[in-house]
């Protein structure tokens, strides 16, 4: 199957700093990438949909100024958590949908990033 | 209303036995897809099986099969011959073709396989 690489797999940062998470599609062009957030023992919640070359679409309740998403190329989307606070500590995971994939195929997920803000 | 409901927060199964994980969904779309993912403690999402709304036969992938009952809007996952490595969180998800292709996830079921 297609490969999506997410980096870093874990990060610890201080309150007030920013953290960038990268999501790359390695062997296909991803026109759309999705960013999810998962709190411990909970399900994945969609944060935003990222389309190459356009602004991301954020889900209700997600602060777009805090969670900056950039999808500058067909193989890379980034999520930047700005001015991080301890409540931003969570597991963030991306998934990608490619040009050659139909809507009825699996979504390919990155490995996820565990963010801890201290 | 919840789009995807998984009513079993946790389940035990004896090694080598079969287990069914429940999933019901809610959609008004005619065209949609149903997915099951396995999430071990490492956090990665492992795709298991897919069922399209127009597929007449239940999907099967090795030890995984999907019991698709469209009229009841259920898509239960059946794991046969459970193995210790099957212990993980399992998520049911739906993609509605008129809703931007994102996946909506259920709350998950933690499966624990007993030796």
What are the tens digits of pLDDT across the range B31-76? 899 999 999 999 999 999 999 999 989 999 999 999 999 999 999 9
> pLDDT band at residue A106, thresholds of 50, 70 and 90?
low
Distance CA B13, CA B64 (A): 15
Gap between the Cα atoms of B40 and B86, Å rounded:
8
**Taking the CA atoms of chain A, what radius of gyration do you get in angstroms?**
14
Closest by Cβ to B45, choosing from A42, A49, A93: A93
User: Do B14 and B82 touch, CB atoms closer than 8 A?
Assistant: yes
- pLDDT band per the 50, 70, 90 thresholds, residue A103: very low
Other CB atoms within a 10 A radius of the CB of residue B78 amount to: 16
Q: Which of B91, B70, B82, B112 is closest to B19 using CA atoms?
A: B82
CA distance B3 to chain A (A): 13
Is the pLDDT at A102 greater than 80, yes or no? no
Whether B1 has a pLDDT exceeding 80, the answer reads no
Inspect the interface and report whether the beta carbons of A49 and B35 lie closer than 8 Å.
no
Residues of B in contact with A35 (CB under 8 A): none
Residue B2 pLDDT: 75
Across the range B96-103, mean pLDDT stands at: 80
Can you give the pLDDT at residue B66? 97
Tell me the two tokens of residue B39.
């999430």
Q: Interface of chain A against chain B, CB under 8 Å?
A: 1, 32, 34, 38, 42-46, 49, 57, 91, 93, 95, 97, 103-109, 111-112, 114
């Amino acid at each position: 199957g297609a490969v999506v690489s997410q980096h870093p797999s874990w990060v610890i940062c201080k309150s007030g700093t920013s953290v960038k998470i990268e999501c790359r599609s390695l062997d296909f062009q991803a026109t759309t990438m999705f960013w999810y957030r998962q709190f411990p023992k909970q399900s994945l919640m969609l944060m935003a949909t990222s389309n190459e070359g356009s602004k991301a679409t954020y889900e209700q309740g997600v602060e777009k100024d805090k969670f900056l998403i950039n999808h500058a190329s067909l193989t890379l989307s980034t999520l930047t958590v700005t001015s991080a606070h301890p409540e931003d500590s969570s597991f963030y995971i991306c998934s990608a949908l490619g040009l050659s994939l139909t809507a009825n195929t699996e979504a390919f997920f990155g490995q996820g990033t565990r963010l801890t803000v201290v | 209303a919840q789009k995807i409901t998984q009513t079993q927060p946790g389940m035990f199964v004896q090694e080598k036995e079969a287990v069914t994980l429940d999933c019901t969904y809610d959609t008004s779309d005619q065209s949609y897809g149903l997915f099951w993912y396995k999430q071990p403690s490492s956090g990665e999402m492992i795709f298991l099986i897919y069922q399209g709304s127009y597929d007449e036969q239940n999907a099967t992938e090795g030890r995984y099969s999907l019991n698709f009952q469209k009229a009841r809007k259920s898509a239960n996952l059946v794991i046969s011959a459970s193995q210790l490595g099957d212990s993980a969180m399992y998520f049911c998800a739906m993609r509605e073709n008129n809703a931007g292709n994102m996946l909506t996830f259920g709350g998950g079921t933690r499966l624990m396989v007993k030796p």
